[in-house]
Amino acid sequence: MTLNKRVDYGDFEIGQANKDESLRKATGFVKEIMDEISPLLDSCEYYDSEIKLGGAPAVKLPSEEVVIAPDIRCRTKEGKVFWLEAKDKSQRFFYPDTGADIFQVYGWYKIWQELEQPVFVVFKDPDYDSCLPRGYVDPDFIESFKKRWDTFEGKPYGAWLSELLVVENNYPRILFEKSREKSMYIFYFRIELMKANLNWNNIIDEVNNNKVPNIQPLQAYYKTLLTEKEIKAKIDSLFKS
């Protein structure tokens, strides 16, 4: 995983920002979204539960499986439930994508699949200067990244998980990377699938009118195209000694 400057973090000189600072940024982004969308809904809550998975709030599904939950649980005024996941992080510099930990993506997918509650994933890039990698970079790479960053200009962007999981052009893809000295699998989605200038009314209308694209069986590329069963096996392998 390429380290960016992330100059909006106080400790950016030591490498990737520490987890506490990252969580503070993410929590602020969640609150920002909730403040905007809450007036349009019957209910909007930062999801927490007694059930935890790795310390994170989790949901126990009808199948008895326990999975990590998205950040926000929403109920429309028509009684339809959907979820929002907020990510304050830089899109990758050298590749036209952005992503999340495999445990999270798997959890969002299972919640949608078993509970029939769609998940909308929202990303926000930091300031442009914070997104640049450290050291010398070929100007052509900078130009390509600037065009992608300018699409959103540091404002929230996103898509329904079902849209991000469409298998096309070798995406979605899984990479085994090290983050904060811990190795993990990261799910990456194409930036071009994300919507700019998000309109919460439109998103809510899609839920109420059953216009959200259907979720398809979970697949992703890791050298070859993996099935849901093979993706779950990779998650399980992280816990084997």
Which is higher by pLDDT, 188 or 20?
188
Answer whether residue 32 is part of any domain: yes
Beta-carbon contacts of 193 under 8 Å, excluding residues fewer than 6 positions away, are 159, 163, 164, 166
Q: How confident is the model at residue 8 (pLDDT cuts 50, 70, 90)?
A: low
Answer whether residue 127 is part of any domain: yes
Answer whether residue 1 is part of any domain: no
Q: How confident is the model at residue 11 (pLDDT cuts 50, 70, 90)?
A: very low
Question: Average pLDDT in the 114-139 region?
Answer: 95
**Up-side HSE of residue 110: CA atoms within 13 Å toward CB?**
22
Kind of pairing between the strands at 182-190 and 173-179: antiparallel
Which is higher by pLDDT, 42 or 179?
42
Answer whether residue 7 is part of any domain: no
Query: Is the CB of residue 119 less than 8 Å from the CB of residue 111?
Result: yes
Please tell me the predicted confidence (pLDDT) of residue 12: 45
Please tell me the predicted confidence (pLDDT) of residue 102: 96
Answer whether residue 3 is part of any domain: no
Q: Is the pLDDT of residue 15 over 50?
A: no
Lowest mean pLDDT among 30-44, 155-169, 181-195: 181-195
Question: Average pLDDT in the 23-42 region?
Answer: 91
Q: Is the pLDDT of residue 162 over 50?
A: yes
Answer whether residue 5 is part of any domain: no
Q: Is the pLDDT of residue 10 over 70?
A: no
Q: Is the pLDDT of residue 20 over 70?
A: no
Please tell me the predicted confidence (pLDDT) of residue 6: 60
The closest alpha carbon to 119, from 64, 158, 170, belongs to 158
Task: Name the burial class of residue 26, with classes exposed (0-12), middle (13-18) and buried (19+) by CB atoms within 10 angstroms of its CB.
Answer: middle
Please tell me the predicted confidence (pLDDT) of residue 239: 78
Answer whether residue 110 is part of any domain: yes
Please tell me the predicted confidence (pLDDT) of residue 218: 98
Lowest mean pLDDT among 1-5, 102-106, 153-157: 1-5
Please tell me the predicted confidence (pLDDT) of residue 129: 93
Q: Report how many domains make up the chain.
A: 1
- What is the domain extent for residue 202? 12-237
Q: Give this prediction's pTM.
A: 0.92
**Cα–Cα distance, 9 to 23 (Å, whole number):** 11
**Cα–Cα distance, 120 to 212 (Å, whole number):** 10
